[in-house]
Amino acid sequence: MRLPAAFASRFVAGETPQTAIAAGLRLYQRGIRATFDLLGEDVDDRASAERSAEGCMELLRAIPPTLERNISIKLTCMGLDVSRELCLALSTKILETAREVAGFVRIDMEGSAHTDATLEIFRELRKEFDNTGCVLQAALHRTHEDVQEAVRRGDRVRLCKGAYREPSEIAFQGTTEVRASFKRSAEALLSGGDHPALATHDEELISHALAFAQERDLASDRFEMQMLYGLRPRRWDGLVQAGYSVRVYVPYGTHWLPYFYRRLRERKENVLFVARSLLSG
């Protein structure tokens, strides 16, 4: 589907690696780092998975040396639903390419049907690579244990709330519970994690993390705050001016619809933004 420039382009940097890299260079000029994401998910055949992996490797090679070669990938794009072996083989190739260009690959977390398989493959990759990290979702009941395990293993974690609707048997449903879970895991990561990334636009959680770090005198380069392209750009600058490390998740590609839909579902202001863009033509 073509990118309808007027509204999706607020959340998606463009359709090509070049447009994403141009966005990354603009961020760099503001002192902000990027992680690039070639959009796509739920691939169900080998050829598509191979194409996705090839796209990620091309991206890694295309990012200029001025920028960090930092990308985020989804294992369902690498054939996780086709076979574990295919997914592991393609992810290994991506990590090898990343190693050649001194790059880093973050493995995004998807819906709970994929949590175990994603963590299992991530841990397998970690035996050979130290240029990769995972994502854990505060909404899931299991996450605090996963965070503690990651701290023990020295894994690099991005903590987020979780973008997928999950049932109450396995996930917190209310804002208060999800925030409490995020704070607890953020404290564990800030206390003992390897360069944790706290990914949220929620001011209560941002303030909590910064206050916790300040109380413990944690150097601001020991962790980073992450946000999504198009969301709270003024806050990125404020954090940079205050001396914090900020990384923005820069998605691009033609398969933008599920990502775009998750952003709309999260926040009514995003829907209003789209409605206004459509009405103003």
Amino acid identity for residue 60 in this structure: L
Alpha carbon distances (Å) from 185 to 38, 122, 156: 28, 19, 13
For residue 4, the minimal CB distance to ligand FDA (Å) is 20
Residue 46 or 265: the one with the smaller Cβ distance to ligand FDA is 265
Q: Three-class SS of residue 18?
A: helix
For residue 195, the minimal CB distance to ligand FDA (Å) is 14
Task: Find the angle CA(222)-CA(223)-CA(229) to the nearest 5 degrees.
Answer: 145
Amino acid identity for residue 146 in this structure: D
Size of the site for ligand FDA (CB under 6 A): 22
To which residue do tokens 């800030």 refer?
190
Does 216 participate in binding ligand FDA (rule CB under 6 A)? no
Which of 115, 167, 169, 118 lies closest to 143, judged by CA?
Answer: 115
Binder to ligand FDA among 126, 156, 161, 208 (CB under 6 A)? 161
Binder to ligand FDA among 131, 137, 143, 185 (CB under 6 A)? 137
Does 184 participate in binding ligand FDA (rule CB under 6 A)? no
Amino acid identity for residue 201 in this structure: H
Q: Which stretch binds ligand FDA (CB under 6 A): 48-56, 124-132, 200-208, 212-220?
A: 200-208
Distance CA 266, CA 5 (A): 21
Active site residues per annotation: 108, 158
**Residues at the site binding ligand FDA, with contacts judged by CB under 6 A:** 108-109, 135, 137, 160-164, 199-203, 226-228, 231-232, 249, 266-267
